Structures are given as structure tokens and as C-alpha cells.
Amino acid sequence: MRKLFEKLKTKKPSKVGIQAVGLIPFSYIYKAITAFRLFLYSAGIVPSSSVEGIKVLSIGNITVGGTGKTPTAIMIAKTLLTAGRKVCVVSRGYGRESLEEVQVVSNGEGKILARYPQAADEALLVAGELRAVPVICSAKRVDGIKAGKEKFDCDTAILDDAFSHFSAKRDIDLLLLDASYPFGNGWMIPAGPLREPVEAIKRADAILLTRANLADGAKIEKTKNEIKKITADAKIFLLDILPCEIILPDGERSRAESFFNDVEKIILLSGIASPKQFELTVKNLGGKVKKHFAFPDHYSFSESDAEDIFKDAEAGTLFLTTQKDFVRIPAPQKVRFHQLTVNAIARDKEGFKSFLAESL
């Protein structure tokens, strides 16, 4: 089924086969449920809540799979910190084992208070990169925002992956779309990757086209035109998701752009939504990838998984993974892996900064 859903990210059900076509009725059911849920919030039947004294910025997407939300959240947090705001990051904490209703993953003073699997992989990655920012996980986003205000006196909360979650009111809704495949195959779950109909982009205050560096200019212009047909006044920003550094097993860091010049054999390990982009990024850096062990998103690696990767590797092989995946690798095997870090960079940095300042 995983291969089927992978094909449906970009191909119409009719092009994939009878099994995919059989999913179409369920997509209509999912669409109806989604529309009814939105109606309940829009009509005020189910209320959205706010927390006094704190601005809320939501980051999210309308497709399943990776659009670079985590590096984008980190970039925005750094931008707001530079502007003098006191920021916290709030997420659901998908996959965490902790049963705490509100889990403080880091306190914004350089201390990480939880470890995987009690805390979620993405939350730990954000906490590691943003030492001056409290990171909070809560299934009820409003409770997480409230903790950011009451425990840490934050004036701005970044809601990670919250575009389709309406329980918390927000001051800015940022929608992330992959520049190459903004709407996937155009079908909603399960016959496609859409969480909401394409028209949902009208709710966004700005649309960020991510991984613009992996899309050609013609494709980007086509995507912009598709967006403008739906919402003519949309603010659109291009974001590049670029490789930055290689973190060595001893914790030292090296520039990614020249790191692979003398490396002959690379084996990749990933459990992310967009493994193809990870592999493409490594190859674009000149990396000679011999094999890629790609697991499902958020997969919790076992010691035997890692050992299976090591056992048939040739001498001199470099084992490479992503920062998010490194969190989930068992401690005994971490010492064998290098990590690739990535940064989200707005092409119009000043324009994006101005937009945030004017909107919050």
C-alpha cells in the first residue's frame, strides 16, 4: 500500500490502476467530513479559542508528506527572535509516547527536558536548533500556547502543522506548498495527498513555495498562475530548502557543499515523508549514493534495522541520515552516522521580514 500511495502523490488514480480507482469513493467521503468540520468552526458551532497577550502564527500545508515545515519553522523563529520577539514553538508532538497533556520539550534556556521516544522527533530537532526558544507539545494547541505565555512569558507562538487545525485562533496563517508538486495529483486522501480541497488556500495570509531550488523556473511560474486563479491577491514567497552542514559522529560540523568530494561510497538511511528529495539533495552535492534505505515517515528504527544496514557495507562507506532521523536511531548506532542539515531561506528575505512585522 505504501508504494501505491507514493504513486498517488503525483499521478491520477486512473493512471495508477484499479486499486487506486477504488479509493475514489473514500476521497469523496473524506472531503465531505472535512467540509462539515470546517463549517462547524466557520459557523461558530464549535468555537476557536485564543490566549490573551500572545500573537499566533500558524505554519502548515494541505497535503500529506513533507513540504519543509520544520526548517521553515526554525527559520521563522530565528527571524522573529532577531526582531526582538519572545517566541515559543507549539506542536502536536506526533508520535511521542509521553502522556502529558502539555509537554515542555525545552525551556528556552538551552536545556532539553525530554528525549525520544517520550518526545517527538520533530520537536526534539527544533529544540536542538533553537536553544533560546521554548518548545511545547500538546494535542490541544490552545493549551500549548497558554503554556508558552504563562510559563515563559512569550509574546509570539509558532504553531507547527496547524493550517487544518481550527481550535486555536491565529493572527497569521502561512501555507506551505511544494514548488514542484503543490497539489499532488489533485485528489483528496486516500486517492491523493490532499488533506483539504485546493480552494482551502484562500484561507492563507501568505503562501510559501518551498523547495523552489528543486523546481525549474517554468514550473514555479505555472504554480504561481494556478494559485492566482484560485486566490488572485495571494502573497507568494519562494523558499529554498538548502543543504547546510554535515554533522560528523563526533559532533563536529563541516560545510556540506564540499564534504563529499573525497567520499566514494554513501549509504543513506531515512524515515521521512520525502526520501527522494533527500537523495536528490545528496547527489546534487556530488555524493555517490550506493544504496538508500527508506522507511516510512516517523519510523522508529530498531538496533537490528541499523545493523542490517551496516553488515553488507563495504569498507570506507559513509552512513548518512537526516537530522530528524538521527533522533530516532538507537544510541549504540548513532556513532556510525553523519547527519545532513538543511536551512530554509526566503529568496525575498527583506520582503518576508516586512510581511511578518506588519502582520503580527
Q: What is the reported pLDDT for 125?
A: 96
List residues bridging with 345 in a β-sheet: 240
69-82 vs 349-359: helix axis angle to the nearest 10? 70
Q: How far apart are CA 64 and CA 82, in angstroms?
A: 31
Q: How far apart are CA 334 and CA 249, in angstroms?
A: 7
Q: How far apart are CA 260 and CA 250, in angstroms?
A: 17
Q: What is the reported pLDDT for 311?
A: 86
The bridge status of strand 87-91 relative to strand 134-137 is parallel
Q: Which residues of 322-348 are buried (b: 16+ CB within 10 A; e: fewer)?
A: bbbbbbbbeeebeebbbbbbbbbbbee
Q: What is the reported pLDDT for 45?
A: 97
Q: What is the reported pLDDT for 135?
A: 98
121-129 vs 69-82: helix axis angle to the nearest 10? 30
Q: Is the dihedral of CA 112, 164, 199, 276 positive or negative?
A: positive
Q: Does residue 214 contact residue 280 with C-beta atoms inside 8 Å?
A: yes
| Helical ranges in the chain per DSSP H | 2-7, 13-16, 18-21, 24-42, 69-82, 121-129, 141-152, 217-230, 256-259, 275-284, 303-311, 323-328, 331-334, 349-359
Q: Does residue 267 contact residue 313 with C-beta atoms inside 8 Å?
A: yes
pTM for the model stands at 0.93
Q: Which domains does the chain have, with CATH numbers?
A: 55-241+345-359 (3.40.50.300), 243-342 (3.40.50)
> Burial, 170: exposed, middle or buried (Cβ in 10 Å; 0-12, 13-18, 19+)?
buried
63: which DSSP letter?
A: B
Q: What is the reported pLDDT for 26?
A: 97
Q: What is the reported pLDDT for 2?
A: 74
Q: How far apart are CA 150 and CA 68, in angstroms?
A: 30
Q: What is the reported pLDDT for 355?
A: 97
Nearest 5°: phi and psi at 332?
A: -60, -25
pLDDT averaged per 10 residues in sequence order, the chain, 360 residues: 82 92 96 96 94 97 90 97 97 93 96 95 95 97 97 97 94 95 94 96 97 92 94 94 95 93 93 90 94 92 90 90 95 94 97 96
Q: DSSP states of 28-46 as a string? A: HHHHHHHHHHHHHHHTTSS
- The number of CA neighbours under 13 Å toward the Cβ of 283 is 11
Distance of CA 352 to the CA centre of its chain: 19
Q: Is the dihedral of CA 162, 166, 171, 174 positive or negative?
A: positive
The dihedral over CA atoms of 276, 279, 280, 281, expressed in degrees to the nearest 10, equals 120
Q: How far apart are CA 125 and CA 120, in angstroms?
A: 9
- The number of CA neighbours under 13 Å toward the Cβ of 190 is 12
List residues bridging with 252 in a β-sheet: none
Residue 143 neighbours by CB under 8 Å, 6+ apart: 101, 102
Q: What is the reported pLDDT for 6?
A: 83
Q: What is the reported pLDDT for 315?
A: 87
Q: What is the reported pLDDT for 32?
A: 97
Q: What is the reported pLDDT for 254?
A: 95
